[in-house]
C-alpha cells in the first residue's frame, strides 16, 4: 500500500468585474476577462490522500460524506497529468462564519488543485495551478492569487488563467458581506450563465462593455482609486443581473432584502460616504468600502440587519500548502 498526501488552504474571491458566460463548457473558457479581490475571512482547507488500497474516490465536506462525482472528474485530470490511477480520499472544511451562504466553489477548487497536484507528486507553477483550478470551477481560477487578480479569458486550455494584479493590497479597502439568505440558490451559476448566453439579447453588449470596465478597473487599482473602482464594480454587477432579467425564461437572484441593502448603500453615498455594492449568483450583498468608514456603514446597515448578518472581510492571501 502506498500513500501520498498533501493539504492546502485557499480563500474565496469576490469578482468586481464579473465572469458570467462560457465560450467552452468543457474547458471552462469564459466569454470575457474578470477581476476579483481575494478575501481573508472565507476559506477552504482540503487534504487529499492518494491511497493504493482504495477502490474509488471518497469525499467528505465538514465531516459529512458527499457524492464524489465532481471531485472524481477533477482528480482524473490530476491522475492523467501524473500518469497514475490511484484513487483518493478528499477531506474539506469550509471556514465561513455562521454558515453564511458564502461558501464557494472558488476556494474549494483552488484548494483541491494545490492539494491534489502536490499529493500526486506534481510541482505545478501558479499559472499551471490556476489553469487546473479553472477546470473545477471558473471562479477558482482567480483564487490561486491573493489580493487583486485578473482572469485572462484566453482561447484554449493553455492561455486561460489568472494573473496577480496586486497581491499585497497596501491601501485601505475591505468588504462587508450582508448575509440575506443562507439557502442554496435555485438556479446554479452554471445554469444561469448558460441561459443568458443562449437567450439574452443584451449578451454581446455585456461582453463588450465588460472588456472596457476591466481596463478601467485595472487603472483604478493601480491608482488606489476606490471611488472609480467602486463605481465600475457596482455598475458591472447591475449589468450582470440585468442579463438575468433579460434571459428567457427570466430569473433573478435578488431578494427584497437585497434591494433594501442596496438602497442603504446608495443613501450612505448621498451623505458623502464612499461605499459601493456588488452581488453574485445569490441574494447576499457585498459592500466595497474603506476600513475607516466601515463602522458608520455597519451602523447604518444595522438599522435593518442584525449584527450577525454583517461580516467584515479584508484582502486575503493566495492558495498555500498547510500541515
Ligand atoms: C464571478 N460568479 O466572476 C461570477 C459572478 C458568480 C457571479 O464565477 O460554472 O461557480 O463553475 O465556472 O465559477 C460563479 O460561477 O461557475 C461565478 P462555473 P462558478 O465570480
Nearest Cα residue to atom 15 of ligand 1:
189
Nine-digit cell at 144? Answer: 490561486
Q: Measured from the CA of 138, which atom of ligand 1 is nearest?
A: 12
CA of 74 to the centre of ligand 1 (A): 17
CB within 8 A of 198, min separation 6: which ones?
none
Cell numbers linked to 32: 470575457
- Mutation probe of ligand 1 site: the residue of 12, 18, 19, 130 with most atoms within 8 A of C-beta: 19
Give ranges for CATH 3.30.70.890 in the chain.
174-313
CA–centroid distance, 104 to ligand 1, in Å, is 9
**Rounded distance between C-alpha atoms, residue 319 and residue 7, angstroms:** 11
Q: Whose CA is nearest to atom 9 of ligand 1?
A: 190
**Whether ipTM exceeds 0.95:** yes
DSSP 104: -
Range(s) of the chain covered by CATH 3.30.230.10: 3-169+317-322
What pLDDT, on the 0 to 100 scale, is given for residue 100?
Answer: 53
Residue 110 · residue 124 · CB < 8 Å: no
Residue 261: per-residue pLDDT: 98
Q: Phi/psi at 76 (nearest 5 deg)?
A: -60, -35
Topology classification of domain 174-313? Alpha-Beta Plaits (3.30.70)
What cell does 262 get?
442596496
E strands of the chain, at which residues? 3-17, 22-24, 29-30, 34-51, 58-61, 64-66, 88-95, 148-152, 161-166, 174-178, 275-279, 285-289, 310-313, 320-322
Atom of ligand 1 minimally distant from the CA of 104: 10
61 contacts: CB under 8 Å, gap ≥ 6: 92, 93, 94
Q: Which three cell numbers stand for residue 271?
A: 451623505
pLDDT at 161: 99
38-47 confidence digits (pLDDT tens): 999 999 999 9
Ligand 1 centroid distance, CA of 185 (Å): 13
Asked if residues 16 and 233 have their Cβ atoms less than 8 Å apart, the reply is yes
Ligand 1 pocket test, candidate residues 136, 139, 277, 278, most atoms within 8 A of CB: 139
User: Whole-prediction pTM value?
Assistant: 0.96
Q: What radius of gyration do the chain's Cα atoms show?
A: 19
Record: fold of 3-169+317-322: Ribosomal Protein S5; domain 2 (3.30.230)
**Which residue out of 101, 189, 277 has the highest number of ligand 1 atoms within 8 Å of its CB and is therefore the one to mutate?**
189
Could you tell me the distance, in angstroms and rounded to a whole number, from the CA of residue 139 to the centre of ligand 1? 5
Rounded to the nearest whole angstrom, what is the distance from the C-alpha of residue 308 to the centroid of ligand 1?
26
Name the nearest CA neighbour of 112 among 56, 64, 54, 73. 73
Q: Measured from the CA of 34, which atom of ligand 1 is nearest?
A: 3
Q: Which residue has the cell 477502490?
A: 55
Name all residues whose Cβ lies below 6 A of ligand 1.
15, 18-20, 28, 34, 105, 137-139, 189-190, 280-281
Task: Take atom 11 of ligand 1 and give the residue whose Cα is closest.
Answer: 137
Average pLDDT, the chain: 96
Measured between alpha carbons, how far is 216 from 96 in angstroms, rounded to an integer? 31
Q: Tens digit of pLDDT for each residue in 240-270?
A: 999 999 999 999 999 999 999 999 999 999 9
Give the residues of the chain that fall short of pLDDT 70.
97-103, 182-184
CB 134 within 8 A of CB 142: no
At residue 306, the pLDDT reads 97
Ligand 1 nearest atom to the CA of residue 30, by list position:
12
Amino acid at each position: 500500500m502506498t500513500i501520498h498526501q498533501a493539504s492546502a488552504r485557499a480563500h474565496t474571491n469576490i469578482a468586481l468585474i464579473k465572469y458570467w458566460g462560457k465560450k467552452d463548457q468543457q474547458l471552462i473558457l469564459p466569454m470575457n476577462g474578470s477581476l476579483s479581490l481575494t478575501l481573508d475571512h472565507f476559506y477552504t482547507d482540503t487534504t487529499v490522500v492518494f491511497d493504493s488500497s482504495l477502490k474509488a474516490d471518497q469525499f467528505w465536506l465538514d465531516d459529512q460524506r458527499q457524492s464524489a462525482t465532481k471531485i472524481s472528474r477533477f482528480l482524473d485530470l490530476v491522475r492523467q497529468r501524473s500518469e497514475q490511477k490511484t484513487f483518493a480520499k478528499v477531506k474539506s472544511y469550509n471556514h465561513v462564519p455562521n454558515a453564511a451562504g458564502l461558501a464557494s466553489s472558488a476556494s474549494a477548487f483552488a484548494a483541491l488543485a494545490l492539494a491534489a497536484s502536490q499529493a500526486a507528486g506534481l510541482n505545478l507553477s501558479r499559472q499551471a495551478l490556476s489553469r487546473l483550478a479553472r477546470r473545477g470551477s471558473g471562479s477558482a481560477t482567480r483564487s490561486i492569487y491573493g489580493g487583486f487578480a485578473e482572469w485572462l479569458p484566453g482561447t484554449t486550455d493553455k492561455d486561460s488563467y489568472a494573473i496577480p494584479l496586486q497581491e499585497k493590497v497596501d491601501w485601505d479597502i475591505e468588504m462587508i458581506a450582508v448575509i440575506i439568505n443562507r439557502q442554496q440558490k435555485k438556479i446554479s451559476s452554471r445554469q444561469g450563465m448558460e441561459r443568458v448566453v443562449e437567450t439574452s439579447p443584451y449578451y454581446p453588449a455585456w461582453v463588450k462593455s465588460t472588456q472596457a470596465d476591466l481596463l478601467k478597473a485595472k487603472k483604478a487599482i493601480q491608482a488606489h482609486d476606490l471611488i472609480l473602482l467602486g463605481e465600475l464594480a457596482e455598475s458591472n454587477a447591475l449589468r450582470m443581473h440585468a442579463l438575468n432579467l433579460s434571459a428567457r425564461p427570466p430569473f433573478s437572484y435578488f431578494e427584497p432584502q437585497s434591494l433594501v441593502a442596496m438602497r442603504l448603500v446608495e443613501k450612505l453615498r448621498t451623505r458623502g460616504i464612499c461605499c459601493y455594492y456588488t452581488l453574485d449568483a445569490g441574494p447576499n450583498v457585498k459592500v466595497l468600502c474603506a476600513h475607516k468608514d466601515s463602522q458608520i456603514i455597519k451602523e447604518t446597515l444595522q438599522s435593518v440587519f442584525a449584527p450577525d448578518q454583517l461580516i467584515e472581510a479584508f484582502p486575503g492571501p493566495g492558495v498555500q500548502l498547510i500541515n
